[in-house]
Structure 1
Amino acid sequence: MSASLIRRGLDFLNEDIKSAQKAKKKKEHAKTPTSAEAKALVSTNRQGVSRQVKRLQGRLGAPKSKATVKDKRVKSALDEIKKKKAQSKMAANLKYFTSKLFQKATDSDTIKIQKQHIGRLSRDHSVPVAKKPKEAKSVFTEEEFERFQEEYFGKTVEQKRK
């Protein structure tokens, strides 16, 4: 036998194997029939039609998964905990806030935010600091007052009390 005859035979055999595999896959993944198609398959007896339609629709379709324990990979509990554990994002946050992309808020914005978040409870309100009244400063000096008293009253009022 020549090599070309063997190749031809293998090619024919290969095509037959591929077509058989495709047909097998089509059977496995057969489309579930619609309710109209399923009703055509159901007997003409009127009792239990909807049940028969559901049964027919449930039979076909993708096969149930046959996953077993031996197919599963054993996972380490420590690895799972490490994955689920919250990682600190402080370094990334600090880098962002110290970068030039981050713009500092203006004073008016911060005051608005603080006013928005003041609670309704009395303990959340800060006690306003009472401002001390400033001593009223006179425009005139003591010497000018004394001269005015001498001119108006004739003598100073303080001397009279003594």
Structure 2
Amino acid sequence: MSASLLRRGLELLEAPGQRKALPGLQRGREGPKAVGAARRRRAAAESGRNRTTVKGRVVKSAIEEYHKKKPVNHLKTNLKYMLKGRVVANKAITEQVLAQNRGRKSKDQPPKKVAKKKPEGTVFTEEDFRKFEREYFGRP
């Protein structure tokens, strides 16, 4: 809220015997169009003052404006800046910083690494299978 609006509100809330309300805020006496009349008068006065003239104006070429707004590639300077400092932090510290910056939700957590299980080999050999086959099916 601006200071002027606050001041006007406080003036309206003051005791009625001390001070009258501002004449600009009394709508009923001057009619409904009187509220915006001061604003219209002020705008009309300002429009006459702020006429733009050619006198003193510097003409800029379109090519100069284009070159000013042309995008610049900062890749080389950025690479030089980043490669200049070769201080590498400890891996434990970097992991700790990354863990602090990571959110607490499950979607923000990295997937847990599952240890690969070695393929389980059988305890039995081919000879044991043949022996079982002979005993169970009765083949010679």
Q: Please report the TM-score for the alignment, with normalisation by the length of structure 1.
A: 0.33
Higher relative contact order (CA 8 A, sep 6+): 1
Q: Please report the TM-score for the alignment, with normalisation by the length of structure 2.
A: 0.37
